[in-house]
Structure 1
Amino acid sequence: MRTEHDALGCRQIEDACYYGIQTQRALENFSISGTTIAQIPGYIESLLEIKRAAAMANHRIGKLTDAQLSAIVQAVNELIASPQPQQFPVDIYQGGGGTSTNMNVNEVLANRANEILTGVKGYDEVHPNTHINMCQSTNDVIPSAMKMTAFRLLGALEEALHPFIAVLGEKVEAFSDDVKLGRTCLQDALPLTLGQQFSGYRSAFERSAQLINSVRHLCLELPMGATAIGTEFGTWPGYKDAFYSVLSTNTGLDFTPEKNLFDALQNADFWITVSAALKSTANILNKLASDLRVMASGPRAGLEEITLPAVQPGSSIMPGKINPVIPEMVIQVYFRVLGNDLSITRACEGELELNVWESLILNSLCESCRLLTECLPLFSDKCLKGLIANRERCAQDAGNSLALSTVIATLFDYKTASDVAKKADQEGKSIYQIVVETGLLSAERASQLLDPIVLTRPELFHKLYK
C-alpha cells in the first residue's frame, strides 16, 4: 500500500494501482452502473492521445523537460499499445463534469512516468495536475475526448452501413420484375414492384450514411485550449497552436479548434445533432423491419408477400410456427436509441458556463452507436440476404385489386372508374371482368392496360395509350 494526499485528506492506495487518490474517491462515490470509462470504446485512447499531444506541445514551448516528456510519452504509448482497463475503473455515471475521469488518466500517467524516471510510483518528478494536466482543464479535455471517441464510433457505424446498403441494392435487382400490391393507410393501393419498394429503403439508408458522415466530420472541431470556461486562462503562449499541430500529426486527422470556445463549453447542442443522426438511422431501420414483419405475416392468413429466413422455432406450444425474430430485435434497438436520444437531449440542457452531464451523453451515444453498428450485419446476414419473394401471391393480389380502377379513371373519368370499382366490389369480381362485361374495353385492350406491371412503369402505359 501507499499513501496519497489531496485537499480533503489522505487515502491508502494499493501499490499495484497506477491511479491515485482522486480515482479512489470516485470509486467510493460513484460505483453505480457497473460500466466504467474503460468500457466506452476508444474513450481512454482518446484521452491518452490528448495527454500525449499536450505534453509534446508543452515541451515544444519549453514548459516540460526532455526527461518529463520522454516519460509521459512512454507511459501513453504503453497504455495505447497494451490497454490496462483495470487502471481506469471510474464509473461512467459521475458528477463534476468528468473531473474524476480526467484525474484518473492524469494519475495513471503521472505514477507511471515517475516510475519510469525514479523506479517508484509517486509525483515527485511528474505531477498529475502540474505536468500531465498542464494548459488543460477537465472542461476542455472531456468534451474533446468525447468528440474524438464519437468520430471513431460514427466511423464504425458508417462502415457498417455500406455493405447493408449493398445487400438492399441486390434485392432491388433481384425483385425488379416482381409486381405486388402497394398499400397506403394499410389499404390496397396501386401496384409497384418489390424492387421499387426496396429501392426506397436503399435510398433512405444511402441518405443516412451521408448524414452520419457529415456529423462525424464535425467531431474534428475540438474545444481544447478553452481551459475552464473558455478564456484560455492557464495556457502559455504557443501552446494551443502546438497542441493542434501535434495532435493532427499524431493521429493523421485534421483537428482544429472550435470557432468560439465559450460556445463550445456552454452549449452541448452538437450532441443533439449527432443523436438525431443516430435516431434517423434507427428510424429507417425500424421502418424496414416493421414493413418486413407485415409483408411476411401469415404464412396462410396474412399478406404472405415475402418469406423471411427461419432462424429459430417460433413457439413453445405451436409446432411449425416461425416468428420474424430478427426484425423484432431490430425494432427493439430502435426503441433503445429513442430512449438514449431523450437522455442526450435532456443532458444537453446544461447551465451557465459548462455542461456537467457529458458522461451520460457519452454513455448514451456509445450505446446507440454500438447497437446500430452490431445490428446492421445481423439484420443483413440473418434476414435480408435470405429473404424470398412469394411471386405468385404478390401477382395475384396485384391483379385482383380494386385500385386498378385508377386506369379507368385515367382513360375515362373518375365517376366511371368509381362505378366500375363499386360494381366489382359488390359482385366479387375483378376490375378486368367488369370493364370487359360492360364494354368499356375489349378483352385484349383490358389485358394490356390492366396488367399490373403497366402501372409500375408509366412509360409502358403511355406507349399502350397511344
Structure 2
Amino acid sequence: MHHAMRLEEDSLGKISLPSHCLWGVHTQRALENFVISGQPLCRFPEMIRALALVKLAAARANLQLGTLTAAKAGMIETVCAEILTGQHDSAFMVDMVQGGAGTSTNMNANEVIANLGLIKMGHAPGSYQHLHPNDDVNRSQSTNDVYPTAMRLALVAQIEALQAAQARLVAAFHARAVDFAQIHKIGRTQLQDAVPMTLGQEFASFANTLSQDGEVLRQAAALLLEVNLGGTAIGTRVNTPEGFAEAATAALAQVSGLPVRLAQDLIAASSDTSAYVSLSGVMKRIAVKLSKICNDLRLLSSGPRSGFIELHLPAVQAGSSIMPGKVNPVIPEVVNQVAFQVIGNDMTVTMAAEAGQLQLNAFEPVILLNLLQSLRMLAQAMDTLTERCVAGITANVAQCEGALENSLVLATLLVPHIGYAKAAEVAKTALIEGAQVAETAVKLGYGSAAEIARMMS
C-alpha cells in the first residue's frame, strides 16, 4: 500500500516525506543522523511545553513590533496553545542527544508549528509560502537563544517537581522522628559505639539534612530564570527589530508565569553554561546525602537476627531465589543506584560545560538530557523512598534499648563526674568482665548505685 508523499528541499537537496507528516526536511535529516540515545524529545514533554512558550512569546513580540502579521502571529499562538496541552507530543521525535547545539530540536518545533498552522489555514503540510518554519515561526530568533531559553524553563518546571518530592520525604522523616522520640539507642562513629542518643534524633537529622537543600534548589532555579532570548546567534541581536529581546522576554514572563529576566550581557549569556553546572552540583549534593541516609537505613535494619536490627523496613518483595524467607532492603538499594547515576550525570554536565568554545556551547543537548534525567530520577526516588520505605519503618525498641544498656558508651556520661581516666578504667573493666558500666563503676568505688545512676541520667 503506497502512501502519498511530498517533497521538501533544503540547501543539501530534496527529501521525501509522507504528505501528512507534521515535521519537515530538517527534522527528517536529524532523525536519520542522530540515532543515538533512543530517547526522543517526546519523552520530555516539559521541554516541548517550554519550546511552545518561547515560540508563542516570540510571535507576540514580533506582532507588537510589526515584523509579523496578525494572521500569522495569531496562528502561531493558536498552535502553541494546542502544543501546551500535550496533544501533539508525538510529532517531536528528534533524539535528545544531537550535534548542532540543539538546532534539530528548534527546527522540529518550527516545522511542527508551521505545518499544524498550515492545516488549520486549509493548506497542505509543506506549503510554507503561507506560513514558513524559519521566516515566520523562527522570526527574530536563533537556535542559540531559543534552545537555552526553553531548556531553562523545562529545568525550572522539573525543579519544582523535585522540591515537592523532597518536601514529602522530609515530612515522612519528621513523622518518624516524632514517633521514635522516646526510643533510646547507641550513637555510633566509625561503626563503633559512641554516645547515647534517641532514634528520634537520628531520624530528625535525616529530615534536617535534606531540608537544607530546599533553599539551595531555589537559588539554582533563580539562576536559570536569566535568559538570552533575542540575542539570536551569538548575543549581538542580529536579525531582530529594535526592542525585540525586551518584548519577547516580557511576553515569556507573562505566558509562562515565571519571573524570567533578560541577561544584561547577551553575548556572555549565549556561551555561559554555569547555571547548569550549579544545578547539577546541587543535585549531586542531594544525591550524596540521600545515598548516605539509605546506607544508614540498610545498616540499621540489617539482620533479621545477626545485624544491627534496630529498624524494621517494610517488606515489599521476596529477596532471594534460593534463600527462603529472605527480605532485602530493595528500596534504599534502588535509591543508592539513583544517586550513583546522578553523580555520574554531574560529571557529564561538567565536561560538556567545560567543552564550550568561543561564543557558543555546542553541547547543551547532552547537558539538558542529563539534568532532566537527574531531576526526574531524584524526584521519583524520593517519592519511592517516602511511600514504600520511610512511611512504614518501625523500630525494634527492645534491641535499641537493650544494646544501650549493655553498651560501654554509658561510661562517657561518667567523665564530667569522675574524670576521663577513671571512666576509661570503668569501660575497660566492664569489657573484660562482661559486666555493665553502672555495676562496674560501683564495684570500683566511684559511687553508690544511686549516685552512679544520677551521673548517668
Structure 1 residue 87 displacement after superposition: 1.4
Looking at structure 1, the residues matched to 246 and 437 of structure 2 have their Cα atoms a distance apart, in angstroms, of: 74
Looking at structure 2, the residues matched to 317 and 132 of structure 1 have their Cα atoms a distance apart, in angstroms, of: 61
Looking at structure 1, the residues matched to 208 and 296 of structure 2 have their Cα atoms a distance apart, in angstroms, of: 16
Structure 1 residue 112 displacement after superposition: 2.3
Spell out, residue by residue over 1:206-253, the C-alpha distance to the aligned partner (whole angstroms, 9 max, x if none).
Answer: 112222222123222111111111111111112122112211222222
The one of 247, 252, 259 equivalent to 2:252 is 247
Looking at structure 2, the residues matched to 30 and 39 of structure 1 have their Cα atoms a distance apart, in angstroms, of: 16
- Specify every segment of 5 or more residues in structure 1 that has no aligned partner in the other structure, as ranges: 455-466
Corresponding residue SS for 1:348: helix
Q: Which stretch shows the higher mean deviation, 326-335 or 72-81?
A: 72-81
Q: Which stretch shows the higher mean deviation, 336-345 or 81-90?
A: 81-90
The answer on 1:45 being equivalent to 2:15 is no
Looking at structure 1, the residues matched to 118 and 266 of structure 2 have their Cα atoms a distance apart, in angstroms, of: 33
User: What residue number does 1:437 align with?
Assistant: 443
The answer on whether the counterparts of 1:272 and 1:344 sit within 8 Å (CA) in structure 2 is yes
Looking at structure 2, the residues matched to 339 and 42 of structure 1 have their Cα atoms a distance apart, in angstroms, of: 23
Under a length normalisation based on structure 2, what TM-score does the superposition of the two structures give?
Answer: 0.96
The answer on whether the counterparts of 2:82 and 2:88 sit within 8 Å (CA) in structure 1 is no
User: What residue number does 1:322 align with?
Assistant: 327
Structure 1 residue 314 displacement after superposition: 1.4
The one of 447, 450, 462 equivalent to 2:453 is 447
Looking at structure 2, the residues matched to 150 and 255 of structure 1 have their Cα atoms a distance apart, in angstroms, of: 13
Looking at structure 2, the residues matched to 368 and 132 of structure 1 have their Cα atoms a distance apart, in angstroms, of: 31
Q: Which runs of 4+ in 1 moved over 6 A?
A: none
Task: Give the 3 Å change call, closer, same or farther, for CA 320–117 of structure 1 in structure 2.
Answer: closer
User: What residue number does 2:17 align with?
Assistant: 13
Spell out, residue by residue over 1:19-59, the C-alpha distance to the aligned partner (whole angstroms, 9 max, x if none).
Answer: 11011110110012211112113101110110111011001
The one of 161, 165, 170 equivalent to 1:160 is 165
Corresponding residue SS for 1:435: helix
Spell out, residue by residue over 1:395-424, the C-alpha distance to the aligned partner (whole angstroms, 9 max, x if none).
Answer: 111122222221222112221122222111
Report the residue type matching 2:328 in the other structure.
N
Spell out, residue by residue over 1:338-377, the C-alpha distance to the aligned partner (whole angstroms, 9 max, x if none).
Answer: 1111111111111111111111111111111111111112
Structure 1 residue 77 displacement after superposition: 1.8
- How many residues were matched structurally? 451
The answer on whether the counterparts of 2:246 and 2:262 sit within 8 Å (CA) in structure 1 is no
Spell out, residue by residue over 1:188-217, the C-alpha distance to the aligned partner (whole angstroms, 9 max, x if none).
Answer: 100100011111111111112222222123
Corresponding residue SS for 2:322: coil
Looking at structure 2, the residues matched to 323 and 307 of structure 1 have their Cα atoms a distance apart, in angstroms, of: 11
User: What residue number does 1:266 align with?
Assistant: 271
Structure 1 residue 118 displacement after superposition: 4.5
The one of 224, 233, 237 equivalent to 1:228 is 233
Looking at structure 1, the residues matched to 319 and 39 of structure 2 have their Cα atoms a distance apart, in angstroms, of: 33
The answer on whether the counterparts of 2:417 and 2:455 sit within 8 Å (CA) in structure 1 is no
Looking at structure 2, the residues matched to 186 and 359 of structure 1 have their Cα atoms a distance apart, in angstroms, of: 43
Report the residue type matching 1:120 in the other structure.
A
Corresponding residue SS for 2:307: coil
Looking at structure 2, the residues matched to 87 and 320 of structure 1 have their Cα atoms a distance apart, in angstroms, of: 49
The answer on whether the counterparts of 1:432 and 1:447 sit within 8 Å (CA) in structure 2 is yes
Q: Which stretch shows the higher mean deviation, 25-34 or 215-224?
A: 215-224
Report the residue type matching 2:372 in the other structure.
C
Aligned alpha-carbon RMSD (Å): 1.3
User: What residue number does 2:367 align with?
Assistant: 361
Structure 1 residue 313 displacement after superposition: 1.4
Structure 1 residue 89 displacement after superposition: 1.0
Structure 1 residue 117 displacement after superposition: 3.0
User: What residue number does 1:150 align with?
Assistant: 155
Looking at structure 2, the residues matched to 109 and 354 of structure 1 have their Cα atoms a distance apart, in angstroms, of: 26
The one of 340, 346, 357 equivalent to 1:341 is 346
Looking at structure 1, the residues matched to 320 and 124 of structure 2 have their Cα atoms a distance apart, in angstroms, of: 62
The one of 395, 407, 410 equivalent to 1:404 is 410
- Specify every segment of 5 or more residues in structure 2 that has no aligned partner in the other structure, as ranges: none
The one of 120, 131, 139 equivalent to 2:136 is 131
User: What residue number does 1:35 align with?
Assistant: 39
User: What residue number does 2:79 align with?
Assistant: 75
Looking at structure 1, the residues matched to 181 and 71 of structure 2 have their Cα atoms a distance apart, in angstroms, of: 68
The answer on whether the counterparts of 2:408 and 2:436 sit within 8 Å (CA) in structure 1 is yes
User: What residue number does 2:68 align with?
Assistant: 64
Looking at structure 2, the residues matched to 374 and 41 of structure 1 have their Cα atoms a distance apart, in angstroms, of: 16
Q: Which stretch shows the higher mean deviation, 144-153 or 249-258?
A: 249-258
Corresponding residue SS for 1:408: helix
Task: Give the 3 Å change call, closer, same or farther, for CA 87–278 of structure 1 in structure 2.
Answer: same
Structure 1 residue 325 displacement after superposition: 0.8
Structure 1 residue 116 displacement after superposition: 2.9
Corresponding residue SS for 2:340: helix
